[in-house]
Structure 1
Amino acid sequence: MIKKRITIKQVAKEAGVSTQTVSRVINNRPDVAPETRQRVLQVIDELGYRPSHIARSLIQGRSRTLGAVGYGLEYFGPSRTLSGIEQQANELGYSLLLSLLRQPERNDVEQLFRHMLSRYVDGIVWAVPEIGNNRDWIRQEIPQLSVPVVFLSTQPRPNQSVVAVDNRSGGRMATKHLLDQGYQNIGLITGPLDWWEARQRQLGWQDALKEVTTENNLVVEGDWTAESGERGLHQLLEQRPDMDAVFVCNDQMALGALRSARQRGVRVPEDLALVGFDDIPESAYFYPPLSTVRQDMVELGRCAVRELGRMIEASQQDKAVIEPKTILLQPELVVRESSVEISRKVGE
């Protein structure tokens, strides 16, 4: 049989004090006599009273709960990002209220925010990638919110706090590596170009090629899946049989590109070099092991929560002005066997 929940009124009655005194004891306020505090604590222990989370939130002005809105747990990056959010929230003493979007393109987020605020969250991490126009709601909704919000993986905008990986730098890094190895005809398999991150990686590829005035029209659009990488490499080689390298904008598509190369009898890296993006754990075990751009998605999530914590603390100060920040995390090139120097190719 489930016991009835003990209320603060019952504690006050049993201890012979007011409910305000019990509240002061619960919140460790100094304005309570030691003997009164001891008596209230003893009654709390005897009755097994546990203060309501929401009630404590109302009393203290904060809930120690963060909201997180995510999408795409089937993808490596978003799942690792949410893991980082949870880890850092736990370390800072916050619990996490998670909502997952099934349709990241949606602009109707009013109900979602209403749900978060009804649970008295202290702040929100928006971990949904920027796709199409799914940020159009920001101008209307954000000024109405009573809690700070940090956005992940989105184009920086005025008066918003954004934490993102520098995808453009990563795309440039991957392409420059191929150029430095002596490759000249470098193709690109992008992610879906309605994703901001995919466009940034393409811009990085273009930046590197412009530095050496190499043509940059060898482009095929993928959808982050291995199947699209397989199709993409086939299309590129049909267009330019002399293409000698490809920057593939994520490791899953690179896996498909490796399969396509094998089917066509194209040797990697002897005939064609490949560089991916993400450094998923399996990329070191591809055949051949995949050169890639590593982005620390766990750290991305952790950094977002640290920034949100800073904003929450600032909001507690009288007349506080919360300065928004844009934080760009730098990716790292990981060189493996899929992009060796031309001079080291077998038979040359």
Structure 2
Amino acid sequence: MTKVTIKHVARTAGLSIATVSRVINNHPDVSGQTRRRVQQVIDELGYEPNAVARSLIHGRSHSVGVVSTGIEFYGPSQTMAGIERQANELGYWLMSSLLPDPETASGEDALKHLLSQQVEGLIWAVPEVGKNRTWICDHSRDLPVPIVFLHMDCRSDVFVVAVDNYVGARSAVEHLLAQGRRQIACVSGPAHWWEAQERTRGWRETLVDTGIAAAETLHQAGDWTAASGFEMFYRLVDQNPNLDAVFVSNDQMALGVLKAAHRLGWRVPADLAVVGFDDIPEAAYFLPSLTTVRHDLKGVGTQAVILLEQMMSAQQTGETPDAQSRLITPELIVRDSSLFPG
């Protein structure tokens, strides 16, 4: 099928290419009758104006850039899905730059690459807490376009959208305490992930607030995989034979904990209560079904794009909006893995 061009539209409408171009680009110097005629022909022919050409005319790319990492994991992948969906809904192209290893890769280079593509705004969706984040936060005001940060503490000088991981962790541990558990361990994610730090902090401070020591032997850091959850549970049991509960920082590692407990002959929940974090679709079908913390990860991505769009619109009018943070509160979903028998 021959591609319909602006020449076809002009010829069919009996108008010049320049006139059709003015209609497409909403130029005010066009009569209503001409505008209706051109639109009718566009609809009949199925003509789609070239997005790049339109962006050059308007001086806008209608694109946003995202720097991300860890999209092989459930959390980051769901957040990216939310970003993509909302960007598409608002009519923005999405351009991404993936940092394979945030501890060694250059976030500055990733931003420069996206800026060279003329993006109108940026989303920093990297959970790593280190030199990249420090540099970008310190230089965010110097960037030529607005930027929204995910996966970080609320600050007064930058725009942030995040899940309240600390509150989510506290709700999980408080639930375990209410079930009569006292030897509560924590399997966290990697120490350089902000989510892992916040969930570990929530576990530790909830125990301390209750008068229970959060001994270092009760904490092991996995890498978000089920295999690491399996291994970390063995380490915990070696040092804590009287363990009666585990708060696990994601559901995939919780699956590994359940497998290890079964292999060691521990009954869940009779001998051991287990609570995860994420509420992945499979969590309800674990054996036993997994108590976990549900958080709206797609909503994080959605809110980030909405906030960024507001910032970009403000920049177009010369405004400078005050920094703001949006915290999304998670919800504890209680299932069989943590309920004390009887």
TM-score in terms of structure 2 length: 0.88
* Counterparts of 1:95 and 1:112, CA distance in 2: 17
> Of 102, 105, 119, which residue of structure 1 is paired with 2:103?
105
* Counterparts of 1:5 and 1:36, CA distance in 2: 18
Q: Residue in 2 aligned with 1:253?
A: 253
Q: What SS class does the counterpart of residue 157 from structure 1 fall into?
A: coil
Contact 1:167 / 1:197 at 8 angstroms: preserved in 2? Answer: yes
One-letter amino acid of the counterpart of residue 163, structure 1? V
Q: Residue in 1 aligned with 2:305?
A: 305
Please state how far the C-alpha of 1:160 moved relative to its aligned partner: 1.2
One-letter amino acid of the counterpart of residue 105, structure 1? E
Please state how far the C-alpha of 1:182 moved relative to its aligned partner: 0.9
One-letter amino acid of the counterpart of residue 72, structure 1? G
> Of 188, 193, 211, which residue of structure 2 is paired with 1:213?
211
* Counterparts of 1:338 and 1:193, CA distance in 2: 26
* Counterparts of 2:276 and 2:3, CA distance in 1: 57
Please state how far the C-alpha of 1:96 moved relative to its aligned partner: 1.7
One-letter amino acid of the counterpart of residue 167, structure 1? N
Contact 1:130 / 1:154 at 8 angstroms: preserved in 2? Answer: no
Matched, 1:320 2:303: no
> Of 57, 60, 69, which residue of structure 1 is paired with 2:58?
60
Please state how far the C-alpha of 1:57 moved relative to its aligned partner: 2.0
Q: Residue in 1 aligned with 2:330?
A: 331
The runs of at least 4 consecutive aligned structure 1 residues that moved more than 3 Å come to: 1-7, 14-17, 21-24, 33-52
Contact 1:189 / 1:222 at 8 angstroms: preserved in 2? Answer: yes
Please state how far the C-alpha of 1:203 moved relative to its aligned partner: 0.7
* Counterparts of 1:268 and 1:47, CA distance in 2: 64
Please state how far the C-alpha of 1:48 moved relative to its aligned partner: 9.0
* Counterparts of 2:182 and 2:40, CA distance in 1: 78
> Of 95, 112, 115, which residue of structure 2 is paired with 1:114?
112
Please state how far the C-alpha of 1:271 moved relative to its aligned partner: 0.6
Q: What is the total number of aligned residue pairs between the two structures?
A: 337
Q: Residue in 1 aligned with 2:83?
A: 85
CA separation of 1:119 and 1:5: change in aligned 2, threshold 3 A:
farther
Structure 2: unaligned runs, 5 residues or longer: none
Contact 1:191 / 1:198 at 8 angstroms: preserved in 2? Answer: yes
Q: Residue in 2 aligned with 1:123?
A: 121
Q: Residue in 2 aligned with 1:177?
A: 175
Q: Residue in 2 aligned with 1:29?
A: 27
Q: Residue in 2 aligned with 1:267?
A: 267
Write out per-residue CA displacement over residues 41-84 of structure 1, whole angstroms, 9 at most, x where no aligned residue. 79989999865433322332423222222222210011111111
One-letter amino acid of the counterpart of residue 131, structure 2? N
Contact 2:99 / 2:107 at 8 angstroms: preserved in 1? Answer: no
Contact 1:85 / 1:302 at 8 angstroms: preserved in 2? Answer: yes
Contact 1:162 / 1:327 at 8 angstroms: preserved in 2? Answer: yes
Q: Residue in 2 aligned with 1:236?
A: 236
Please state how far the C-alpha of 1:251 moved relative to its aligned partner: 0.8
* Counterparts of 1:31 and 1:203, CA distance in 2: 62
One-letter amino acid of the counterpart of residue 337, structure 1? D
CA separation of 1:99 and 1:37: change in aligned 2, threshold 3 A:
same
RMSD, aligned CA: 2.8
Contact 1:110 / 1:141 at 8 angstroms: preserved in 2? Answer: no
Write out per-residue CA displacement over residues 197-254 of structure 1, whole angstroms, 9 at most, x where no aligned residue. 1010011011211221101011112111112111211111111211111111111111
Q: What SS class does the counterpart of residue 159 from structure 1 fall into?
A: coil
Structure 1: unaligned runs, 5 residues or longer: none
* Counterparts of 1:119 and 1:172, CA distance in 2: 42
Please state how far the C-alpha of 1:330 moved relative to its aligned partner: 0.5
Please state how far the C-alpha of 1:136 moved relative to its aligned partner: 2.6
Select between 218-227 and 45-54 the one with higher mean Cα deviation.
Answer: 45-54
* Counterparts of 1:229 and 1:134, CA distance in 2: 28
- Within 5 Å, give how 1:132-171 maps onto structure 2: 132-139=130-137, 141-171=139-169
Contact 2:96 / 2:114 at 8 angstroms: preserved in 1? Answer: no
Q: What SS class does the counterpart of residue 148 from structure 2 fall into?
A: strand
CA separation of 1:245 and 1:22: change in aligned 2, threshold 3 A:
same
TM-score in terms of structure 1 length: 0.86
Contact 1:230 / 1:260 at 8 angstroms: preserved in 2? Answer: yes
Select between 216-225 and 34-43 the one with higher mean Cα deviation.
Answer: 34-43
